[in-house]
Amino acid sequence: MKTCKDISELLSDSMDRPLTWRERWAVRLHLLMCRHCSRFQNHLHFLHKAAGRYYLNKR
């Protein structure tokens, strides 16, 4: 079982590269059990969208 630190790193990595099927599976299983990492994932997606909108508005 992966730790929260491992999962947070994988979630961050997923913004830059596609995860392997084993990594995706590990993340999904962990997120089912850990509300803190689920919340972290939501925050990452929010920041990713906000940064994208900011970048588009600056062009």
Reading phi first (left if > 0) and then psi (alpha if -120 to 50, else beta), residue 3 is in beta
Longest dimension (CA), the chain: 43
Structure confidence at residue 59 (pLDDT): 65
User: pLDDT, tens digit, for every residue of 2-59?
Assistant: 999 999 999 999 999 999 999 999 999 999 999 999 999 999 999 999 988 877 777 6
How many independent structural domains does the chain possess? 1
Range of the domain at 52: 4-58
What does the DSSP 8-state code read for residue 14? T
Task: Give residue 46's Cα distance to chain centre.
Answer: 10
